[in-house]
Amino acid sequence: MTIRLVSFDLDGTLVDTAAEIAEAVHRAFDDVGIERRPQAEITNLIGRGTRELMLKLLARVMLEQPALSERVQPEAVLERFEHHYAETAGCFGKPYPGCVATLERLRDQGVRLVCVTNKEQRHAERVLAVTRLDGYFSMLIGGDTLPVKKPHNGVLAHVLRHHGVSADEAAHVGDSSIDVESARNAGVRAWAVPHGYNAGVPIEDSNPDRLFPNLSAIADEVDAVLGPLPA
């Protein structure tokens, strides 16, 4: 059966957002007098949404420096992060090589495209708008759009219902174990690319159904192996 819908993760899959997220974290920490953390440490926390990233990072900082808890309130730091990420979202991020061409090819084949991310909806909208990718997607699901987020099966199930597509007609593309688990939970093909984050762990360890060398190879798969939709 042909592919009628492909959903894509955002951070680490379509766009390299690590630098802009780290910059917003750095600015927030500067505001409250916390020493900046290595970008690699921040990057390894990407995947479950920026709020969870910040909470995990702050918990680590407070554990290392207990005295900070007497003068720094996590919600205040989160507020400063929100302020700064509203400025940096999309501005430092760059679509990965082949991203635009792949989306164009899939769209031209009649495949419905959806962006499914754990990044909060407002931030995801800005990243897609600034990078000019927003026009390719029929739907955007952020980490706070629904009552649940990836890897809960309800996320991709919602996407399939909305588009009238069955699970065996769909694939989800991501860079992390969260994406592979999301696809498996919903019964769609679990496709992966190796250029993302995944907490620093090789995506091969998550055993996706297909590991593509790059985004362009995904369009090749739909075109050459599964075939385009009938005219």
CB-count burial class (<10 Å; 0-12, 13-18, 19+) for 225:
exposed
Phi, psi at 114, each rounded to 5° = -135, 140
Supply the pLDDT for residue 201: 92
Supply the pLDDT for residue 191: 98
Supply the pLDDT for residue 70: 84
Residue ranges in the chain modelled with pLDDT below 50: 228-229, 231
Cα–Cα distance, 169 to 4 (Å, whole number): 5
Q: Cβ(8)–Cβ(173) under 8 Å?
A: yes
CA angle 41, 53, 141 (to 5 degrees): 130
The pair of structure tokens assigned to 113 is 């495209």
User: Is the pTM here over 0.85, yes or no?
Assistant: yes
Angstrom CA distances, 190 to 87, 92, 187, 207, stand at 33, 28, 9, 9
Q: pLDDT digit string (tens) for 3-62?
A: 999 999 999 999 999 999 999 999 999 999 999 999 999 999 999 999 999 999 999 999
Q: List residues bridging with 8 in a β-sheet.
A: 115, 173
Supply the pLDDT for residue 1: 59
Supply the pLDDT for residue 226: 54
One-letter amino acid of 78: L
What kind and span of H or E run contains 210? strand 210-211
Structural domains of the chain ordered from first start: 5-16+95-226 (3.40.50.1000), 18-88 (1.10.150)
Cα–Cα distance, 3 to 174 (Å, whole number): 17
Supply the pLDDT for residue 140: 99
CA angle 124, 127, 128 (to 5 degrees): 85
Please indicate whether residue 205 is annotated as part of the active site: no
Q: Cβ(128)–Cβ(115) under 8 Å?
A: yes
Supply the pLDDT for residue 92: 86
As a residue count, the chain comes to 231
